[in-house]
Structure 1
Amino acid sequence: MSGKIIFFEERNFQGQSYECVSDCSEISSYLSRCSSCRVESGIFMVYDQPNFTGQQYLLTKGEYPEYQNTIGFKDCIQSCRMVPVHKGLFKMRIYEGTNFEGQTHELTNDCDSFKDHYQMSDTQSCNVMEGHWLMFEQPKYEGRMFYLRPGEYRNLRQMSGDDLSFNSIRRIKEA
C-alpha cells in the first residue's frame, strides 16, 4: 500500500497545497511554509528540519489542521519520509553502550520502559534486523521520538542530534 500526504501553507487546510507520495527532503521547494496537513493513506515520519533531520513525529491517516500544538513543533514541517508497512516479524537488539557494547537485549515486541523491563540505565546503540520502530525519550512512549529503519545504529545519542536518552520503543505497524 502506498501513502499520500497533502501539505498546506496555511492552517486548517488553506492556501497552496502540495501532494506527496514518497520521501520529500525539502518541502520548502514546493511551499513557502507548511502549517497543516492531511494524511490520506499510509504512515509518514515528519521532521521540523530539511533532509530528515531535527525533531520527528509519526503521522498516521487523519487530519492535522494545526499540528504545531498537537505534535509540539515550534516551526513548520520541513521534510517527510514515508514509513513502509512491515508485515512479518519484528526483531532488534538494544545495547546499553555505544558501538554495541554492554548489556544487550533482543526485542520482538513493544517495550514501555527499558529500565523497568531490562534494568538498563541507558540505551545507546541498537541493531534493527526486522521491521520499523519508533524509539521514545521517556517511558510509556512519551517525549521526543526517533524513527529506526532496519540497520545498525552505533551511537543513538549522536544520531538524534541533541544527545537524547531513550527509554521506550514501539513497533510501527499498519494503522
Structure 2
Amino acid sequence: IIFYEDKNFQGRSYECSSDCSDLSSYFNRCNSIRVENGNWILYEEPNYKGYQYYLRRGDYPDFQQWMGFNDSIRSCHLTTQHRGPFILKVYEKEDFKGQMMEFTEDCQCVYEKFRYHDIHSCNVLDGHWMFYEEPNYKGRQYYLKPGEYRRFTNWGANNSRITFYEDKNFKGRSYECSSDNNDLHSHVSRCNSIKVDNGSWMIYEQANNKGHQYFLKRGEYPDYQHWMGFNDTISSCHMIPLHTGAFLIKLYEKEDLRGQVVEFTEDHPHIYQDFNYREIHSCNVIEGHWIFYEEPNYKGRQYYLRPGEYRNFSDWGAVNARVGSIRRVQEFY
C-alpha cells in the first residue's frame, strides 16, 4: 500500500508492506492511496484506533473514495488471507443473548433479514468481516477477525446520539443523529436546543464542519447559550471517536513546532500560568482528542483537535494564536 500526502497520488509518499501502528513519522496527512496488493484496514489514529476504513486493491485519488471523513490516517493493518468458509452469528442482545441469525455471505441490508435494527453482540466463527453502520456498505466501518464480541464496543462501535430541536426547551421540529453529518439544513432550519444522549460531539455553525465550533458532551442544552453559541445556526456535526488510552499534547511558541515547548497530559484551565507565552502558534497532538478554548477557564471560542501536527493556528481553524485553556475529550456513556 502506498500513501500520498496530496490528492491524485501527488506529494510526499510512503510505501508499506506490513502492519504499522504509527505512520506519523512518514507523512503529515493522507489524501490519496494506491493499494497494489492485499486487503488493508486503515485507522484515523495510531495504535489501530479511531475511524476504520477497508481498502482492497485499487486506486483511491482522494479520501472520499475510501469514505474518509478527513485526511488523517495514522495506522494500518494488513488482513490475513482467508480461503475457507465464512460464518458469522449476530445477536439481538449483549453476551450472545436474544434472537440470533447466522450469515455465510455478504448482506447489503441486514435489517431486511434480521428484524432488529441493532446488533449488540456477535461471534465470528470463520473468516474476516466488515460491519457497516448503514445499508449498502456505507457509513462507519468496523473490522472483525475471528473471535467473540460480547458488546458492540468490542468491535470499536458506540451508541452516540444527538438530537437537534428548532425551538428552545426541546420543542418544535427535531432531528436525531448518530453519526457525522456535513449538512443539517434539510433536517432543521435553525437550532435552539440540543439533547446529547451519548458520546462527545463537535457541532459547527457552517456546513462541512466550518465556522464557529462547539464541544458538547452528554447532557441537555435548553438554549444555544448553554453551549456558548453565538446564534441559532448549526449546520454540521462530527461525532468524536472514543479514546480510552493516554492523552499527550505539545504546545509550541512559534509556527512549525519551533521555539519553547510545553507538554500536557491533563486538562488545564489557565495555560498562561505554566507557559510564559500568551499565544500558541503550533502544536502536536500525540495521543487523544483535545479542545482548545480562546480564554482561560474553558471559555471563548472553541477548537477541536484530533491526533496530528498543527503547524499554524489556522490548521485548527483559529483566526489568531490565543489559547487560554485546554481540555481532553473524555467520553462517558
- Same fold at TM > 0.5: yes
- CA distance 1:106–1:38, change in 2 (3 Å): same
The alpha-carbon distance between structure 1 residues 58 and 159, as it changes in their structure 2 partners (threshold 3 A), is closer
Q: What is the letter of the counterpart of residue 31 of structure 1?
A: F
Corresponding residue of 1:138 = 134
Contact 2:41 2:52 in 1 (8 A): yes
Could you give the per-residue CA deviations for residues 63-109 of structure 1, whole angstroms, max 9, x where no partner exists?
Answer: 22222465232232111111222111001211111111111112111
Query: What residue is the counterpart of 1:119 in the other structure?
Result: 115
Which deviates more from structure 2 when the two are superposed, residues 9-18 or residues 37-46?
A: 9-18
The two structures have a TM-score, normalised by structure 2, of: 0.45
- Which residue of structure 2 aligns with residue 19 of structure 1? 15
Match of 1:38 in 2: 34
Listed as ranges, the matches of 1:82-161 within 5 Å are: 82-157=78-153, 159-161=155-157
* Alignment CA distance shift 1:86-1:26 (3 Å): same
Residues 48, 73 of structure 1: 8 Å contact kept: no
Q: Which has the higher helix share?
A: 1
Structure 1 residue ranges without an equivalent (≥5):
166-175
2: CA distance between counterparts of 1:143 and 1:76? 17
Q: CA offsets per residue over residues 50-70 of structure 1, 9 Å max, x none?
A: 211111111111122222465
Does the 8 Å contact 2:38/2:57 carry over to 1?
yes
**Of 62, 71, 76, the match for 1:75:** 71
1:158, distance to aligned residue in structure 2 (A): 5.7
- Which amino acid is the alignment partner of residue 25 of structure 1? S
- Residue 57 of structure 1 is matched in structure 2 by 53
Query: How many residues in Structure 1 have an aligned counterpart in Structure 2?
Result: 161
Mapped to 2, the partners of 1:33 and 1:16 lie a distance apart of: 10
Structure 1 residues 65 and 112, CA, compared in 2 at 3 Å: closer, same or farther? closer
User: CA RMSD of the aligned region, Å?
Assistant: 2.0
CA distance in 1, matches of 2:109, 2:153: 18
Name which one, 1 or 2, has greater alpha-carbon Rg: 2
Supply the distance in 2 between the matched residues of 1:13 and 1:42 (Cα, whole angstroms).
19
Contact 2:53/2:66, CA 8 A, preserved across alignment: no
Partners of 1:132 and 1:70 in 2: how far apart?
19
**Greater relative contact order, per chain length (Cα 8 Å cut-off, separation 6+):** 1
- Runs of 5+ in structure 2 lacking a partner? 161-177, 179-333
Matching residue's letter, 2:152: L
Question: Deviations for 1:12-61, whole angstroms, at most 9, x for unmatched residues?
Answer: 22232211111111110222322222111111111112211111111111
**Length-normalised TM-score, structure 1:** 0.82
Distance 1:110 1:93 in 2: 13
CA contact (8 A) 2:152 2:158 kept: no
Does the 8 Å CA contact 2:54/2:66 hold for their aligned counterparts? no
Aligned-partner SS, 1:136: strand
Paired letter, 2:118:
D
What is the one-letter code of the residue matched to 2:42?
V
Deviates more, 1:38-47 or 1:114-123: 114-123
CA deviations over 1:144-168 (Å, ceiling 9, x no partner): 1111111111111464243278xxx
Identity of aligned residues (%): 47
* Alignment check: 8 A CA contact 1:38 1:62 kept: yes
Partner of 1:169: none
CA contact (8 A) 1:35 1:77 kept: no
